[in-house]
Amino acid sequence: MDNLRLRNLRDDDFEAFHALNSDYDVVKMVASWPYPSDPVFTRMRMNTPEAQAGLVSVIECNGQLAGTIGGVRGGLGYMLAKTFWGRGIATWAVGQKLKEAFSVHKWEIVKAGTWNDNPASAAVLLKNGFTVVGQSVGYCKARDCEVEATDYEIFRHEWLKHQTSTGTA
């Protein structure tokens, strides 16, 4: 089993974080990352007030930066390096960030979205108890175009019920 943890970003994460955000297959699945990747933008994102406050976390797997996950202003977003896809790591990380959002920050609702051509991310959200609440279109900076998306949400009481029903409480 992988040794997983969430932790704060550190200065020495820059190379791995920049490499993550230099992979088109990764950044085309999120809205806000440019492609090709810009080191100045990467450094800026590492030093946002949200990242510095720990709202954005490194997903660490066996001592390596596998990705990042953020819970900011009621929204959840994450990205995972391709070498870590298909191992349940994103599902675990989303579960951990939801626990933080609902138990530590006392949020009442968490919202998330996926591009419709990203069924793996949709599955991660559904496994963690999110429900589909609508369809939308959003701009993807890496693709430089509008992309069809699915919107999700989970309320604290639904998350608690999901924790009990899956035995993760």
CATH architecture type of domain 4-166: 3-Layer(aba) Sandwich (3.40)
Please report the DSSP string for 82-126 in residue order.
GGGTTSSHHHHHHHHHHHIIIIIS--SEEEEEEETT-HHHHHHHH
**Cα 151 from Cα 69, distance rounded (Å):** 17
**Cα 62 from Cα 54, distance rounded (Å):** 20
Is residue 67 within a helix (H) or strand (E), and if so which, with residue range?
strand 64-72
**Cα 110 from Cα 93, distance rounded (Å):** 14
Per-residue tens of pLDDT for the chain, all 169 residues: 579 999 999 999 999 999 999 999 999 999 999 999 999 999 999 999 999 999 999 999 999 999 999 999 999 999 999 999 999 999 999 999 999 999 999 999 999 999 999 999 999 999 999 999 999 999 999 999 999 999 999 999 999 999 888 877 6
Helix (H, G, I), strand (E, B), or coil: what is residue 163? Answer: helix
pTM of the model: 0.95
